[in-house]
Structure 1
Amino acid sequence: MNPSPVGVILAQIGTPDAPSAKAVRPYLKRFLSDRRIIDYPPLLWQPLLRGIILRTRPRRSAKLYQEIWMEDGSPLLVHSKAQQTALQSLLGSGYQVELGLAYSEPGMPLAFRRLEASGVTRIIVLPLFPQYSSTTTASVYEAACFAALGRHSRSGKVSKRIVPALRFIEAYHDAPGYIAAMKALLLRQLHSLNDEPNYYVLSFHGIPLRYAETGDPYPQQCLVTGRLLAEAMNWESGQWQVTFQSRFGREEWVGPSTADTLKELSGRGIRRPLIFSPGLVTDCLETLHELAVEGRELFASGGGTAENLQVAPCLNNNEEWIEFLAQMVNRTAQGWLQPAETAER
């Protein structure tokens, strides 16, 4: 009898299933109701969320999604499926790779059901977040644990008798393979340009400053990633900087702000900047619209020429990136694979 494969779940946050306010609203409700994302007391936050935010923001967000929506669906989901297919092909039959999204479909419970239907009893959860944050990595860890247990809370109904063994891949913000994959991507991007950029902006998704001050290591890990990538690319100290995007609400967020930086670049004599998002490994609304569309508008508002701002794509299913993911999975699966499978690798 062939041994059951080792399960692998590529974990992402999620995306609406259509570029409409009707589809965006339930996604935002789930996302913004997670207390790891917004940690205000529910008695204060939920009336604001349901009374104002969910009445106005879905319509605005839907318009943005409409501008970037792909023929096959949401960019994040399309690219995530491509990552899944490429990783499955590289890992081979000793593994079964599934997508598990925290706030939309295919969700974590579906990923676990598919794996368990194939007889999988050992599962590796691979967050597609190189830098750890309580708002991303911890959220998918939590979603995976509840899905594995077959319940929604500790006091909730038990729906499963057999719980699979789980292994979580930790933050890999400083892993040489991750840095090398980004270097290869950027070198290809630079080779395709007529004029070499004279400045590089490394934009990471932001978090409230309060989260960092109370223990979230995310901003520091972003800075480490930025430094290692700059060293790999041989950028001089005045040639690049780390910024943070996607601010929400009124409280102070980690900085400097990507939006503010883009408006200031021209005034600093920077005419041909390139912006890249190391922490977002899958193209989505935050890269395809916030950086590529709104980012060019911000650069132009500060006196720059919009077309001169180059935006590098995410890692998506680039070969070097998928090879790095496969290496992490194989290391994490040590002791779970049969001797013959190990010898083949």
Structure 2
Amino acid sequence: MNRPVQIDMAKAKAVGTLPAGRSPLAVRKIGVLLVNLGTPDGTDYWPMWRYLREFLSDPRVIELNKAIWYPILYGLVLTTRPTKSGANYKKIWNREKNESPLRTFTRSQSEKLAAVFAGNPEIVVDWGMRYGTPSIASVVERMEAQGCDRILTVPLYPQYSATTTATANDQLFRALMKMRRAPAVRSVPPYYDEPVYIDALARSITRHLAGLDFDPEVVLASFHGIPKPYSDRGDPYREHCLETTRLLRERLGWDEKKLITTFQSRFGAQEWLQPYTDKTVERLAKEGVKSIAIVNPGFSSDCIETLEEIAGEVAEIFHHGGGKNFSHIPCLNDSADGMAVIEALVRRELMGWM
């Protein structure tokens, strides 16, 4: 009959003593890598050109055959769009730090999360961008040099899409493919329906609306759009967005007329997910709605799409159509509520490693 094997840990440690002359392994560390979409390094033509080239040549973002897309990209888009996009970035640029708000907030999120784990020398917190700098590869190399043999990557996209979460993870593994000693990796899954995330959004919305001198008749939950064919081919993004809105509506005690889902930031001629944010705002104004607010639950940090497009362009559309009161509700950013979401996700996914 087989009997359980009894292990004497003291003897096991003695047997495992390193041979003479063998150096002990460095202390094993865990890297926590916050990843966001990306940002240009400046607003002038060439920084914008480099950023847009990297972004728009990603096959996860533009699912067209290169033979068709590249002549358009290099012949038309990269000739005209850097100047236009640069002008828009200038409107929201953090001039004190000479960087985009997205970089400012993502760095701050990383610093605040690092402060949470400051008492644990096993944890190394850093941040990177899918497009632009600091690149994911450079941060992974830095983590490996600090002794990280495990990396928890945190794509800061609540709702999953191949155009965001998947391409960020792709880039991480491209970096690992070039490493002789690649660390083990985990990725935080989409958190579109996590109670801590829904609660944080609800508190943020409630607090912001309480500070207004008007009561919005309609609140739009505006998400970044994706081409409709991507959704038709199985990208779960649309369903994730709708579920976030449903849970948020339930949490706030609002009905379907008070909080509605829309999609913004479409690019090109093909159909994107609908209803479109700009068209919806225009329609509401024409129907006599005088007061609205817009929240962006798909963005972990305020950026060009929220600060310039929503708080600028869409607000102008509403006012031009006859609307009176408009307010953009800030993203969670590095607020206490926003950091509570990130910390909760990280602590859960580190279980078994710490």
> Deviation at 1:161?
1.4
Structure-1-length-normalised TM-score:
0.92
Task: Name the CA distance, whole Å, in 1 between partners of 2:176 and 2:287.
Answer: 52
SS in 1 for 2:311: coil
The partner residue of 2:350 within 326, 333, 339 is 333
Alignment of 1:135-284 (within 5 A): 135-150=163-178, 160-284=179-303
SS in structure 2 at match of 1:25 = helix
Pick the aligned partner of 2:327 from 287, 310, 331.
310
Deviations 1:15-54 (CA, angstroms, capped at 9, x unpaired): 0011112110010000000000001000110011001100
How far does residue 3 in structure 1 lie from its aligned partner after superposition?
3.9
Partner residue of 1:343?
Answer: none
1:217-246 CA-to-partner distances (Å, cap 9, x unmatched) read: 000110000111111111122112100000
Q: Cα offset for 1:321?
A: 2.0
2:246, 2:27 → 1: CA distance? 43
1:122 Cα deviation from its structure 2 partner: 0.4
Question: Which structure's CA Rg is the greater one?
Answer: 2
Q: Distance in 1 between matches of 2:259 and 2:102?
A: 27
The count of aligned residue pairs is 326
Is contact 1:15–1:27 with CA below 8 Å preserved after alignment?
yes
Matches of 2:189 and 2:160 in 1, distance apart? 8
Q: How far, CA to CA, are the matches of 2:174 and 2:199 in structure 1?
A: 34
Equivalent residue letter for 2:40: P
Contact 2:192–2:243 (8 Å) recurs in 1:
yes
| 1:213 maps to amino acid | D
Answer yes or no: is 1:83 the counterpart of 2:100: no
Contact kept? 2:310, 2:328, Cα under 8 Å: yes
Q: 1:329: Cα distance to partner?
A: 1.1
The one-letter code sitting in structure 1 at the alignment partner of 2:36 is Q
Q: Is the 8 A contact 2:221 2:296 kept in 1?
A: yes
The one-letter code matched in structure 1 to 2:115 is: S
When structure 1 is superposed on structure 2, of 283-292 and 193-202 the one drifting more is 193-202
Whole-Å Cα distance in 2 between the matches of residues 336 and 148 of structure 1? 20
Q: Contact 1:283 / 1:313 at 8 angstroms: preserved in 2?
A: yes
Shift of 1:149: 2.2
Structure 2 SS opposite 1:63? helix
Tell me what 1:43 maps to.
Answer: 67
Query: Deviation per CA, 1:81-118, whole angstroms, max 9, x where unpaired?
Result: 11111111123333211112111100101110111111
1:202–1:240 CA contact under 8 A, matched in 2: yes
Amino acid at match of 2:280: T
* Equivalence for 2:86: 62
Q: Is the 8 A contact 1:19 1:62 kept in 2?
A: yes
1:153: which partner in 2? none
**Identity over aligned residues, as a percent?**
39
Q: Deviations over 1:131-180 (max 9, x none)?
A: 00000000001001111222xxxxxxxxx210100001111110000001
Whole-Å Cα distance in 2 between the matches of residues 242 and 220 of structure 1? 11
Shift of 1:298: 0.8
Q: Is the 8 A contact 1:183 1:229 kept in 2?
A: yes
The answer to whether the aligner puts 1:28 opposite 2:45 as a matched pair is no
Query: Which residue number in structure 2 is paired with residue 96 of structure 1?
Result: 124
**TM-superposed deviation, 1:269:** 2.7
| Structure 2 SS opposite 1:76 | helix
**Secondary structure at the counterpart of residue 135 of structure 1:** helix
Q: 3-state SS of the aligned residue for 2:38? A: coil
| Cross-structure match for 1:108 | 136
C-alpha displacement at 1:4, in angstroms?
3.3
- Structure 2: segments with no counterpart, 5+ residues: 1-23
Give 3-state SS (helix, strand or coil) of 2:220's partner.
Answer: strand
Secondary structure at the residue paired with 1:241? strand
Who is 1:156 aligned against?
A: none
Aligned-residue CA RMSD in angstroms? 1.2
Choose 115-124 or 265-274, whichever is displaced more.
265-274
Residues 53 and 78, structure 2, Cα contact 8 Å, conserved in 1: yes
* Paired residue type of 1:266: A
**Structure 1 stretch 184-193 or stretch 173-182: which is displaced more?**
184-193
